[in-house]
């Protein structure tokens, strides 16, 4: 992270932005700030910076824990520049330029998924984007059940409860993907309105078999919603393993898609995106406002969104980033995704060959999970916490996750807790290797993990 780069870009951009309004008569509109207030403001910012220092270094390659990826400098600068105007993309009155930029940016994301016609907009994040998708599903199939895998994001069951729609989980296979046979059994009851297909689960990075699920849609007539909040941008990756590649190749056949630009899209929080294949879905959003939508006959984004006020700065930052880094295969942006997959595979191979560790499912994207080899689940969980703490003491920041022991058991290798029921849970280590620069830090990450796991026998 180089604040000087962002500061320089922002200074340049603000000068140009102010010139766009130079015809206006001079006016003081800085919130009543006086020159004598500046030292106090600087002191408050010093204190703010100090408080912010009590964070993990999310921007650094040694942070390899949760899904936290630093925004690109162009996104930071564009967001800060737009916040000087503070546009609101609910209506053209509040965000005329930023609304146009949002529409253009959304069009580019839809094209990444193979859609020319679509209805879509940005949201405050993946949770609200998924809520809109399931809300529409409920409008189309009132009272029908929502299905998602038991490794899908927990918000799907919670959203279904908010919408008063029945929800059921579908078991997964040993790789964390929705089990096809279990899904077909669930569908045979005939009460299923929507199946949520996860392309990139948050715990394992697993990719559900979208192509097979779409074949069932033809037979059972349900709606397919793809939750690709974390994994969606991997549509552009060139080094996906075959099962994942086949799933992403079919994403254009989904009925709706969610992707989070604030994950792999290099954007500040919060920036989610919901897309519908059928633009006629907009009829469910129709509403009347006594004052909001009369300044233009063009589309107001508030007319196709459940949210009202939304930060136009998010759209500006996304537009600027995609202008610099187009969403195309073989470009700088997609090469970063390839690097993230590569580093996950490299570290997986090291973990799999180390007798101290038990690898989880082989990574399909850039999430890696592994347990600590120990005689019991309790001891393995305790040692995972130990490695987590010792790694953090070396500034290597990982994550802990509880997963079913079945993900670490193999019919061909009975060494790992063969008597433990498959639904038992074990605390294991997890790493999200979503920064492209992780690739050049692979050896350093491994060396620190090796030291953190040293001398288990002495504990």
pLDDT surpassing 90 at residue 385: yes
- Kind of pairing, strands 357-359 and 367-372? antiparallel
pLDDT surpassing 90 at residue 300: no
Q: Name the strand (E) or helix (H) holding 306.
A: none
Confidence class of residue 458 from pLDDT cuts 50, 70 and 90?
very low
Tell me how far CA of residue 82 lies from CA of 29, 85, 136, 303, 308, in angstroms: 16, 5, 31, 22, 19
Give residue 298's pLDDT.
63
- Using the structure block, give the residue that is written with the tokens 């920036």: 271
Give residue 31's pLDDT.
66
- Using the structure block, give the residue that is written with the tokens 């989980």: 169
What is the phi-psi region of residue 340: left when phi exceeds 0, alpha when psi lies from -120 to 50, beta otherwise? alpha
Contacts of 160 (CB under 8 A, 6+ apart): 134, 146, 166, 167
Give residue 30's pLDDT.
61
Average pLDDT for residues 141-155, to the nearest whole number? 97
Give, as one character, the DSSP assignment of residue 436.
Answer: G
Give residue 320's pLDDT.
98
Two tokens, residue 434? 């979503």
pLDDT surpassing 90 at residue 104: yes
- Alpha helices for 198-241 (secondary structure H): 210-220
pLDDT tens digit string along 14-72?
A: 899 889 988 989 876 666 788 888 999 999 999 999 999 999 999 999 999 999 999 99
- Kind of pairing, strands 167-170 and 145-149? parallel
- Set out the domains of the chain in order of their start, with CATH numbers: 84-324 (3.40.640.10), 332-458 (3.90.1150.10)
SS3 9: helix
Two tokens, residue 21? 């309004």
Average pLDDT for residues 382-392, to the nearest whole number? 96
Average pLDDT for residues 205-222, to the nearest whole number? 96
pLDDT tens digit string along 443-456?
A: 999 999 999 998 66
pLDDT surpassing 60 at residue 425: yes
Give residue 89's pLDDT.
87
pLDDT surpassing 60 at residue 135: yes
pLDDT surpassing 60 at residue 293: no
SS3 52: helix
Confidence class of residue 318 from pLDDT cuts 50, 70 and 90?
very high
Q: CA nearest 153: which of 75, 228, 73?
A: 228
d(CA 183, CA 259): 24
Give residue 182's pLDDT.
97
pLDDT surpassing 80 at residue 199: yes
Least confident span in 44-48, 181-185, 255-259, 293-297: 293-297
Q: Which class for 148: exposed (0-12), middle (13-18), buried (19 or more C-beta within 10 A)?
A: buried
pLDDT surpassing 70 at residue 1: no
């Amino acid at each position: 992270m180089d604040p000087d780069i962002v500061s320089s870009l922002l200074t340049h951009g603000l000068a140009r932005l102010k010139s766009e309004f130079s015809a206006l008569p001079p006016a003081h509109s800085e919130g009543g700030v006086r020159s004598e207030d500046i030292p106090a403001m600087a002191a408050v910012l010093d204190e703010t910076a100090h408080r912010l220092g009590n964070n993990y270094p999310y921007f650094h390659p040694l942070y390899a824990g949760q899904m936290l990826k630093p925004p690109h400098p162009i996104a930071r600068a564009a967001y800060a520049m737009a916040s000087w105007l503070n546009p609101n993309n609910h209506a053209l009155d509040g965000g005329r330029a930023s609304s146009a930029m949002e529409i253009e940016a959304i069009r580019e994301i839809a094209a990444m998924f193979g859609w020319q016609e679509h209805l879509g907009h940005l949201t405050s994040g993946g949770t609200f984007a998924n809520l809109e998708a399931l809300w529409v599903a409920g409008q189309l199939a009132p009272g029908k059940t929502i299905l998602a895998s038991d490794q899908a994001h927990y918000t799907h069951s919670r959203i279904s409860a908010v919408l008063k729609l029945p929800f059921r989980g579908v078991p997964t296979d040993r790789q964390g993907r929705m089990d096809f046979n279990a899904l077909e059994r669930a569908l045979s009851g005939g009460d299923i309105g929507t199946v949520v297909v996860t392309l990139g689960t948050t715990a394992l990075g697993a990719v559900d078999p979208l192509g097979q699920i779409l074949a069932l849609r033809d037979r059972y007539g349900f709606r397919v919603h793809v939750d690709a909040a974390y994994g969606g941008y991997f549509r552009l990756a060139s080094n996906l393993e075959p099962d994942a590649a086949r799933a992403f190749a079919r994403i254009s056949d989904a009925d709706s898609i969610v992707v989070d630009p604030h994950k792999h899209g290099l954007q500040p929080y919060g920036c989610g995106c919901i897309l519908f294949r059928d633009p006629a879905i907009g009829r469910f959003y129709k509403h009347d406002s006594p004052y909001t939508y009369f300044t233009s006959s063009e589309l107001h984004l508030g007319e196709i969104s459940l949210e009202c006020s939304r930060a136009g700065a998010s759209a500006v930052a996304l537009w600027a980033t995609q202008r610099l880094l187009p969403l195309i295969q073989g470009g700088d942006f997609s090469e970063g995704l390839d690097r993230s997959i590569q580093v996950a595979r490299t570290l997986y191979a090291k973990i799999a060959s180390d007798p101290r560790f038990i690898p989880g499912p082989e990574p399909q994207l850039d999430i890696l999970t592994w347990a600590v080899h120990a005689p019991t689940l309790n001891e393995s969980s305790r040692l995972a916490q130990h490695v987590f703490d010792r790694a953090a003491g070396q500034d290597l920041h990982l994550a802990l996750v509880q997963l079913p022991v079945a993900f670490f058991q193999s019919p061909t290798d009975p060494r790992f807790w063969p008597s433990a029921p498959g639904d038992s849970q074990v605390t294991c280590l997890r790493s999200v290797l979503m920064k492209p620069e992780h690739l050049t830090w692979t050896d350093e990450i491994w060396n620190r993990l090796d030291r953190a796991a040293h001398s288990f026998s002495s504990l």
